[in-house]
Amino acid sequence: MADYLNNLRDIVNEADNRVRSRTILEKRGPGKPETNPADIAKMLLLQIYTESPNRVAEGLLLLFKEKLGISRHFSYKTIERGYDRENVNTILDEFVSITNECVENEEKTCSFDGTGHSGSNKENYADKRQKQNLKKNQKKSKPSNDNKSHDSFPITNSTSNMGFSYSVMGIGVQYKLISGISISPNHSIGETTLFPEAYIQTLQNYPNLENVLGDGIYASRWITDLVSKTQLTPYFLPKSNVTFQSKGFSGWYDMLYSLWDGPKKWLE
């Protein structure tokens, strides 16, 4: 815990200094001074590490304020609204970049997948996804004119006020570090919509990346073409009924041909 607090303080301070060095500071107007975004970022990361709710996180702030180098106390409401602040999110993005610097030239393969982060202990994402898939299978037995598959996230109960934050993350296969992440509270959008943001972050963090992995949701023509155009090799497991018709996306044909030409090597 002591090592984590030291690393947390030093890396967030470094991230804050880098952001400040490339940002033009605006003159502050009248009123109460804004809480330091670096201090909020520290508490958000400590809250994640300890899996604490907002009120407990405020108690941790009282306990570790000096250790983390936080200048003044702030309430749990400030922690609760932390992710709504653009300057805080900028520091967190820089934090991810710094943690990847030690392996940025060594990581060659990243894998992408989507998940949901519960805003309440009463919600369980895996359970919701299982129920959604069950409904899909039941619908398959009924005739339907809609053959389009969708990748939308499962909908929460109408009685729930919290729901999920949905995300797509890239993870380095060798060193297991998060290479990029895209988050949204909107369940009506799908994993493929969030993929480009997480993918671009990954490219910035790993300039020598060679391979991109993902499950069948990402096996769409435009995503494979996006990956191919950045000179990387996509490995997205396609559905059993796909065709070689690229429909203008050359990366799709290239990926399927590599699977057809050497399936054992491709699957490995």
Q: What is the model's pTM?
A: 0.71
With contact defined as beta carbons under 8 Å apart, do 64 and 49 qualify?
Answer: no
Mean pLDDT of 160-180: 82
d(CA 220, CA 100): 28
The CB-side HSE value for 88 (13 A sphere, CA atoms) comes to 19
38-95 pLDDT, tens digit each: 999 999 999 989 989 899 999 999 999 999 999 899 999 999 888 888 899 999 989 9
Confidence of residue 159 (pLDDT cuts 50, 70, 90): very low
210-261 pLDDT, tens digit each: 999 999 899 999 999 999 999 999 999 998 888 888 888 888 988 999 999 9
With contact defined as beta carbons under 8 Å apart, do 58 and 97 qualify?
Answer: no
In terms of DSSP bridges, do strands 164-172 and 109-118 run parallel, antiparallel, or are they unpaired? Answer: antiparallel
HEC per residue, 41-106: HHHHHHHHHHCCCHHHHHHHHHHHHHHHCCCCCCCHHHHHCHHHCHHHHHHHHHHHHHHHHHHCCC
Question: What pLDDT is stored for residue 120 in this prediction?
Answer: 55
Confidence of residue 163 (pLDDT cuts 50, 70, 90): low
Cα-Cα-Cα-Cα torsion 139, 141, 144, 146, nearest 10 degrees, comes to 60
Greater confidence (119 vs 75) lies with: 75
d(CA 221, CA 191): 15
**Helices and strands in the chain: count of H runs, count of E runs:** 10, 5
Interacting residues of 68 by C-beta distance below 8 A, sequence separation 6+: 5, 8, 9, 39, 42, 43, 46
**Distances in Å between the alpha carbon of 133 and those of 129, 137, 172, 252?**
6, 6, 28, 26
Question: What pLDDT is stored for residue 151 in this prediction?
Answer: 72
- Dihedral of CA 88/227/215/135: which sign? positive
pLDDT above 90 (res 12):
yes
Question: What pLDDT is stored for residue 71 in this prediction?
Answer: 86
d(CA 207, CA 203): 6
With contact defined as beta carbons under 8 Å apart, do 266 and 235 qualify?
Answer: yes
Least confident window among 8-12, 32-36, 143-147: 143-147
Question: What pLDDT is stored for residue 19 in this prediction?
Answer: 94
Question: What pLDDT is stored for residue 4 in this prediction?
Answer: 93
d(CA 242, CA 104): 35
Q: What type of residue is 153?
A: F
Mean pLDDT of 103-107: 91
Greater confidence (247 vs 199) lies with: 199
With contact defined as beta carbons under 8 Å apart, do 203 and 97 qualify?
Answer: no
Percentage of residues of the chain with pLDDT beyond 70: 85
Greater confidence (124 vs 82) lies with: 82
Average model confidence (pLDDT) for the chain? 85
**35 conformational bin, left if phi > 0, alpha if psi -120 to 50, beta if neither:** beta
137-147 pLDDT, tens digit each: 776 666 555 44
Tell me if residue 8 falls in helix, strand or coil.
Answer: helix
Question: What pLDDT is stored for residue 147 in this prediction?
Answer: 46
